[in-house]
Structure 1
Amino acid sequence: MRPMLATHGDPRTGPPAGPAWVHEVKWDGIRLLADVTGGRLRLLTRSGRDIAVALPELRALADLCDDVLLDGEAVTMIGGRPSFSHVVDRVHTASAAAAGRLARTRPVTYLAFDLLRLDGMDLTALPWSARRAALEDLLDGVPGVQVPPVYVDGRELLAATADQGLEGVVSKRRDATYQPGVRSTDWLKFPHRDVRSVVVGGWRPQTGTAARLGAVHVGVPVDDGTGAPAVDPWGRLLLDYRGRVGSGLAGRAGSTLLARLEEVPRAAYPFTADIPRPEAAGSTWLEPQVVIDVAALGVTADGRLRQPSFQGVRPDLTPEDLLEEP
């Protein structure tokens, strides 16, 4: 099952008011489905990868019951606030021993916000309010797991999350069913930062040294008209160009990303349109594999990100996942 996704709400009006809606904090973490079958726990990213070995502090979920499916987010708190970079580091951990050490020094909390299946019963057709009530009863007192609170005043919550440096707000209709894999207007998100996921299609070194990353060329997959990604005659993913990202790549961030990109096979130019020769000069083109988050001040008329800044790698996403993005 793929998780239900929220649509961007209108920032001019803000979160909807009235008794038909509830509002939650939008946490800066990794979306995970927690699937327990026969006492075995799987923690599935949006790309379907099981990372349960990386998060042993959540093993109490396996003892809930023989069959349950939860939707939620893994969050690492640093100084009382979620740290996306710290939780991403945990996702990369493949060694059980290393994961155990990190669980003691940098634990994650699973914030469960929906209940999709219980004891063989599919609950997705029930309204949010019924699923929420069952979720609260089920998860009371489970170590490492919390059910985040909901609020009735979305605009007040949006202001409070801005003051506290949190990511934003998600508003949900009380009567909404759970629609797997659908980006629904029954869930509306209101982020404080315009953060987008894009795919790296190439990179260029810093001026004067080939040993440092100067910028990455990014894009988004092209829909072939059927909901599948468009490919070239050789089966390679095609990208619509979204620009060059250089901000945020100084120091360790740039070195870490360059090391990751050097693992990716080189390939032909992956973008659907030509870019100016000065921008392409000295670039290395790659197979579109690595998804990153960038913060931007919107998009220009020709589809370029305005003043984009690198935020981090998204190991939980594949390029194909971005076809769901608006």
Structure 2
Amino acid sequence: MFAAPMLLEKSDEPFDDEKYITELKLDGIRLILTKFNNQIKLYSRHNNEVTAKFPELLHLNIPDGTVLDGEIIVSDSEGKPDFEAMMERFQSKRSEHTIQYCIFDVLYHKGEKVTHLPLLQRKELLDSLVENEKHISKVQWLHGNGRAYFDLVKQNGLEGIVLKKADSKYQIKKRSHDWLKVINYQYTDVVITGLRKDKFGLLLAFEENGRLKPGGLMEFMTPAARKQFYGEYRDLIVDENKKFTFIEPKIKCRVKFRNYTKTGLLRSPSFVEYIS
């Protein structure tokens, strides 16, 4: 039985509030685990069944009628979540990456919905249901201390933190300010070298020693910034193919992004401002 997960709202800054708990934001894939009729099934957040992809998780000793929520990750050699490795494992059965299911909530227990219980009571219930092992772990948390935790996240190059109201109910299929994410964005300056034809997307490049190095594709831009770009790019067109129109590297901007990929591209870049 699938249950659509509760989603996070954004917070620009971390904060300290004892009414909230703080967790590490894990860089992986959201996973709903269910056990009904003594059979475990796994679902993505969009209700795609992915049970066959993760046989390591199919023998978890939990009561029948349980639904768990968590993030599935692959860790690198330093123990940090590696999103690219996670996607390799998700997309290929031949991948040898070791996965870990990091559980942070319980929605059903013995067939009864428990989403109405305060978060801390659900955490206590989760502690009674799950023990840490090779492929399973419970997400650690602490009261308040959002600022200090976020500072540690930045020092270690991790994705961010999640701040959750300690008394919050689990709101199925809703995005709520009771759960807030603070992303550890990085910032850099780039030039725009083209635009995608079928749907919005701008090609980015880095300027290094007078040369251009590919920087990836930016799909997130404010309407006002798009309007300004559309008013300028036509005079800069130099070439095109079936997918892209290419322009002179005259338009510069600052972007924020999650991290660099292993090939040196920006992961999920989004527009911040134009620069001269």
- Alignment TM-score, normalising by the size of structure 1: 0.61
* Distance in 1 of aligned mates of 2:154 and 2:171: 29
Task: Tell me how far 1:182 sits from its aligned partner.
Answer: 1.3
1:217 to 180, 196, 199: 196
Task: Tell me how far 1:180 sits from its aligned partner.
Answer: 1.4
> Which structure has greater strand proportion?
2
* Distance in 1 of aligned mates of 2:43 and 2:241: 35
SS in structure 2 of the partner of residue 125 of structure 1: coil
Alignment pair present for 1:68 and 2:66 = yes
1:297 counterpart residue number = 255
SS in structure 2 of the partner of residue 91 of structure 1: helix
2:81 counterpart residue number = 82
Task: Tell me how far 1:123 sits from its aligned partner.
Answer: 0.9
SS in structure 1 of the partner of residue 108 of structure 2: strand
Aligned partners of 1:60 and 1:142 also within 8 Å: no
The Cα offsets for residues 46-89 of structure 1, whole Å up to 9 and x where unpaired, read as 2222222122222223x422221111000111121110000011
The Cα offsets for residues 232-258 of structure 1, whole Å up to 9 and x where unpaired, read as xxxxxx96x3533456xx89x98xx9x
1:126 maps to a residue whose letter is L
Task: Tell me how far 1:161 sits from its aligned partner.
Answer: 1.1
The Cα offsets for residues 143-186 of structure 1, whole Å up to 9 and x where unpaired, read as 41101110221111111111111111100001100111211100
Task: Tell me how far 1:118 sits from its aligned partner.
Answer: 1.2
2:47 counterpart residue number = 48
Q: Structure 1 pair 64/215, CA: closer, same or farther in 2 (3 Å)?
A: farther
Alignment pair present for 1:7 and 2:9 = yes
Aligned partners of 1:23 and 1:150 also within 8 Å: yes
Q: How does 1:1-326 map to 2 (within 5 A)?
A: 1-11=3-13, 14-15=14-15, 17-61=16-60, 63-79=61-77, 80-93=79-92, 95=93, 98=94, 102=95, 105-152=96-143, 153-193=145-185, 217=196, 241=200, 243-245=202-204, 275=230, 276-277=233-234, 281-285=239-243, 297-298=255-256, 310-311=266-267
Unmatched runs of 5 consecutive residues or more in structure 2: 188-192, 207-212, 218-225, 245-253, 258-264, 269-276
Aligned residues: 226
1:48 maps to a residue whose letter is N
* Distance in 1 of aligned mates of 2:194 and 2:89: 26
2:196 maps to a residue whose letter is H
- Alignment TM-score, normalising by the size of structure 2: 0.71
Aligned partners of 2:195 and 2:201 also within 8 Å: no
Q: Structure 1 pair 171/119, CA: closer, same or farther in 2 (3 Å)?
A: same
* Distance in 2 of aligned mates of 1:8 and 1:35: 28
Aligned partners of 2:185 and 2:256 also within 8 Å: no
